[in-house]
Amino acid sequence: MTTGPAGTPQVRHGVPTQRRRWWHAIFPPTVVPAPPPAVAPVRVTFRQDVPQPLLVPAKGDAFDFNLHVVYLWTATGMTFDALALRAQALLPWACGIVRERAVDLAREHEPHRAHALERALNDLLVHQRWPQEGNLPHFTVRIRVSPDERVRERLRPYWEQRIALECEHELEKIRTWQADDLTRRWAAVLQNLQDDPVTAYAARLTGQQFAEVFHHYIAERRDIVPGLVELLREAVKGHGDLGLGPSEYTQAWDVALRTYERQHGLARQPR
């Protein structure tokens, strides 16, 4: 190691160093701390439900709509309590803005179209906030609209009748569906029964009412069949007597007759 004059760097193993002053031991160098990171201002919201509705005239100016407005206030760097007090002080100003925006639109709607006005107002105001600029708290709104009480009384009989009609319509649809389903099921049952030679006896094992109905059904079917068969036989025979020969027409009637006789157990008697 080489030693230089006071205050000059020394070299130890090729690395320059600085001679330590005696006051460094008494007064160490001051370390300045880094500034704390910036804290973003806190965003505070306050929902204000106003019990008293705003009144705006409906079309014709004979009735009013009731606007039930909910104000959502937003501020930055303000406590919740301070925002609530500020919102209460600004409420008359906010109500005036909402009423001004709603009057013209309300006059375009009939007194009984409250729901249509509600949709139109919310579509108009959903993306708006007041004030547009400045440090004041901002607010947005959601609106529910109800008709005048006199209009509600006029609408009551209409809706009572409409509800009754719709309920009766639904009942008729259910009755129709059940009748159709029951008819289809009974048709399948009767078809299966009449094709089975033991059904006349099996029917007696069921309820008395069903047995009676089934026997009447079979009797009516058998009363109709002989007349129809005789008509078909005469039709086929008549074409033969006229000398038409075994035409396609006559053959088709003969096939139909044989099929019907076989299906209903009526064997053709030899002539």
Domain ranges of the chain: 43-147, 149-194, 203-263
Class of domain 43-147: alpha beta
Question: Hey, which residues does 70 pair with through a beta bridge?
Answer: 49, 142
pTM of the model: 0.55
Q: Which tops the pLDDT comparison, 95 or 220?
A: 95
Token representation of residue 175 = 């009755």
3-state secondary structure string, 74-101? EEECCCHHHHHHHHHHHHHHHHHHHHHH
Query: Given this model, what pLDDT does residue 111 score?
Result: 96
As a whole number, mean pLDDT of residues 9-36 equals: 59
> Which of 60-64, 81-85, 243-247 is the least confident region?
243-247
As a whole number, mean pLDDT of residues 186-214 equals: 60
Q: 10 Å Cβ neighbour count for 214?
A: 20
Q: 10 Å Cβ neighbour count for 7?
A: 8
Distance, CA of 8 to CA of 83 (rounded, Å): 66
Q: Which tops the pLDDT comparison, 70 or 19?
A: 70
User: Which H helix or E strand runs over 17?
Assistant: strand 15-17
Examine the pLDDT at 133 and tell me if it is beyond 90: no
Examine the pLDDT at 169 and tell me if it is beyond 70: yes
Q: 10 Å Cβ neighbour count for 109?
A: 20
- Please, is 138 exposed, middle or buried when counting C-beta atoms within 10 Å of its C-beta (0-12, 13-18, 19+)? middle
